[in-house]
Amino acid sequence: MQKDQLFTRRRALLAGVTAVGAVGTAGAFAVGSGGGPAPSAAPAPGPAAHRPLKPSAYRLQPLTGYGAPRDALRRPPVRSEPILRISGRGRVMMLTFDDGPDPRYTPDILDTLAEYGVRATFFVCGEMADYNRDLLSRMADEGHVVGNHTWSHPLLTRLTRRRIRTEMERTSEVVEQAYGEPPLWFRAPYGAWNRAAFQLGAELGMEPLAWTVDTLDWTTPGTGTIVERVEDGAAPGVVVLSHDAGGDRSQSVRALRRYLPELLDSGYHLTVPRRRFV
């Protein structure tokens, strides 16, 4: 490919923000391919792991400060299942990276995305984000989307409603401070959703986003296998799940370097979600 064509394509990719819509159905509590509990996918405990979770004074817009009509526009509906795919014209896909940021792997992933002018979505854990705020700043500078993946990556279905709220609120607070905006998307750890998570997410101004293709990279199946899973699963509207933390993610880093140029050469536009009602 000629350099000028590549440049044009990269610019098109940067402009190619796509609305997300719910397509298909899912189980009430565990969704996405391979969405069951995955114990080793939990993030490595950060220095904050043993800090007690205190209810935060922080409240997002839907609870305070906005007039009713504006609230209605900003507050997402309470869903009973997460969004699994993106809607949009043409060959659009989304890359998502969960559990980070981790200074051992996330910078490499950001470097590769920057090399190809591609934006991605990072579902961060608050306890990781709190100690790697510079990486959230970099994500903001480079146009990536940051979502909420809870503070400490618990199985939400085993928590009280109050604890779920604290997990989500504290994470949104750190994201807003370090990224510059509160997250508009959340993803339940292990893909284990429940009604409280949907309700609280909506109260905090967030939409639930799951995935279509699970690379299962946390099982460290080998770089080639991760590449194959992405390429075999590639299709319009697909959301790909990978991880940039929670263990040795060097295979995930290397796999991205291989499948990203191949997806682009196949005509895919990698995009980030945009909310229709904001």
Residues that bind Zn ion (CB under 5 A): 98-99, 189
C-alpha closest to that of 243 among 71, 114, 124: 124
Q: Which CB, 13 or 136, lies closer to Zn ion?
A: 136
Q: How far is the CB of 185 from Zn ion (least distance, A)?
A: 14
Q: Which CB, 87 or 220, lies closer to Zn ion?
A: 220
Both tokens of 48, joined, read: 């904050």
Q: How far is the CB of 17 from Zn ion (least distance, A)?
A: 24
Q: Which CB, 75 or 99, lies closer to Zn ion?
A: 99
Q: Which CB, 88 or 189, lies closer to Zn ion?
A: 189
Catalytic-labelled residue, pool 98, 214, 217, 244: 98
- HSE of 29, CA atoms in CB hemisphere, 13 A: 8
With beta carbons less than 8 A apart as the criterion, state whether 240 and 211 touch: yes
Which residue's CB atom is positioned nearest to Zn ion? 98
Catalytic-labelled residue, pool 144, 149, 153, 243: 243
Q: How far is the CB of 212 from Zn ion (least distance, A)?
A: 16
Q: How far is the CB of 215 from Zn ion (least distance, A)?
A: 13
Q: Which CB, 98 or 244, lies closer to Zn ion?
A: 98
Task: Please provide the distance, in angstroms rounded to a whole number, between the alpha carbons at the two ends of the chain.
Answer: 37
SS3 content of the chain, % helix, strand, coil (to 5): 40, 15, 45
Euclidean distance between CA atoms 273 and 85, whole angstroms: 10
Q: Where are the alpha helices (DSSP H) in the chain?
A: 3-15, 68-74, 106-115, 126-130, 133-141, 161-179, 195-203, 223-233, 250-265
Structure-derived torsion over alpha carbons of residues 235, 247, 44, 205, reported in degrees to the nearest 10: -10
Euclidean distance between CA atoms 248 and 102, whole angstroms: 10
Active site residue 98: yes
Q: How far is the CB of 136 from Zn ion (least distance, A)?
A: 17
The catalytic residue positions are: 98, 243
